[in-house]
């Protein structure tokens, strides 16, 4: 049986990753593939417990290095218990955020630096990387407007100002420039259905016909 593929969705807060995750899963299932959707931090019981340590913490409670280690602790459990077994069974995994979020939030925006995050990644996951990473790109003001509109309760990260969101956006675009074979940037300012159409096109170009 062919191994499944890991597709990750990345981007700043409010770019529409959760909506697109469901839509991609639907498109893949319609094509007859077995699909599981998941998210980070989280996805397994242990990783969800770590998620609450991270997201319920007061501003500045963790150092950037501790945050990065907690995200990778959660991710190691998630990969070992959910992602890798699913791929091995031929199931495609659509994951909302992955290692690139740690690189951007902790490495770039919180100044831990690329080399530190790369070293933790290597120790935690070896060479394990997604098959395809979709970077949903949205102007910062539009992202903030969408989140206000949803009346989302601000969590630890989302209380940050627009300046922080600008650093996130630049960070994700930098990763896309560095790793064009793995990453694709998607214009997330379009209506949802157009974003989905673009994403399905990218999946077919990069991973083969569905």
Q: Could you say whether residue 121 binds ligand TMP (CB under 6 A)?
A: no
- Residue 117 to residues 36, 66, 113, 190, Cα–Cα distance (Å): 27, 11, 7, 32
Choose which of 21, 27, 38, 105 interacts with ligand TMP (CB under 6 A).
105
Q: Which of residues 146-185 bind ligand TMP (CB under 6 A)?
A: 157-158
Residue 154 CB, nearest approach to ligand TMP (Å): 10
When binding is defined by CB under 6 A, the residue of 78, 97, 167, 169 that contacts ligand TMP is 97
* Residues across the chain: 210
Q: Of 176, 169, 145, nearest to 12 (Cα)? A: 169
Binding of residue 10 to ligand TMP (CB under 6 A): no
| 101 vs 152: CA distance, rounded Å | 20
Please say which residue, 30 or 56, places its beta carbon nearer to ligand TMP: 56
> How far is residue 36's CA from residue 78's CA, in Å, rounded to a whole number?
13
CB 107 within 8 A of CB 117: yes
With binding defined as CB under 6 A, does residue 21 bind ligand TMP?
A: no
- Single out the segment in contact with ligand TMP by CB under 6 A; choices: 96-104, 118-126, 173-181, 199-207: 96-104
Question: Is residue 16 close enough to count as binding ligand TMP by CB under 6 A?
Answer: no
Q: How far is the CB of 98 from ligand TMP (least distance, A)?
A: 7
**Token pair listed for 75:** 């991710």
Q: At what angle do helices 17-30 and 192-207 cross, to 10 degrees?
A: 50
Judged by CB under 6 A, the stretch of 20-28, 101-109, 117-125, 129-137 that binds ligand TMP is 101-109
CA distance 38 to 93: 7
Residue with tokens 């560095």: 178
Among 8, 20, 91, 102, binds ligand TMP (CB under 6 A): 102
Site of interaction with ligand TMP (CB under 6 A): 13, 40-41, 55, 71, 96-97, 101-102, 105-106, 157-158
């Amino acid at each position: 049986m062919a191994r499944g593929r890991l597709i990750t969705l990345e981007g700043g807060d409010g770019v529409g990753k959760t909506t697109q995750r469901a839509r991609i899963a639907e498109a893949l299932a319609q094509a007859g593939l077995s699909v599981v959707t998941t998210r980070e931090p989280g996805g397994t019981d242990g990783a969800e417990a770590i998620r609450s340590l991270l997201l319920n913490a007061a501003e500045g409670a963790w150092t950037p290095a501790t945050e990065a280690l907690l995200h990778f602790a959660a991710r190691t459990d998630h990969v070992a218990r959910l992602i890798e077994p699913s791929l091995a069974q031929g199931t495609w995994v659509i994951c909302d955020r992955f290692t690139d979020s740690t690189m951007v939030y902790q490495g770039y925006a919180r100044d831990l630096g690329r080399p530190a995050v790369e070293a933790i990644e290597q120790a935690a996951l070896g060479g394990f990387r997604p098959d395809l990473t979709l970077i949903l790109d949205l102007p910062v003001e539009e992202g903030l407007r969408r989140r206000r509109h949803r009346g989302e309760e601000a969590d630890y990260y989302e209380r940050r100002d627009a300046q922080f969101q600008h650093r996130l956006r630049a960070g994700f675009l930098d990763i896309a420039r560095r790793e064009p074979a793995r990453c694709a940037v998607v214009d997330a300012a379009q209506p949802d259905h157009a974003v989905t159409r673009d994403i399905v096109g990218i999946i077919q170009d990069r991973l083969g016909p569905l």
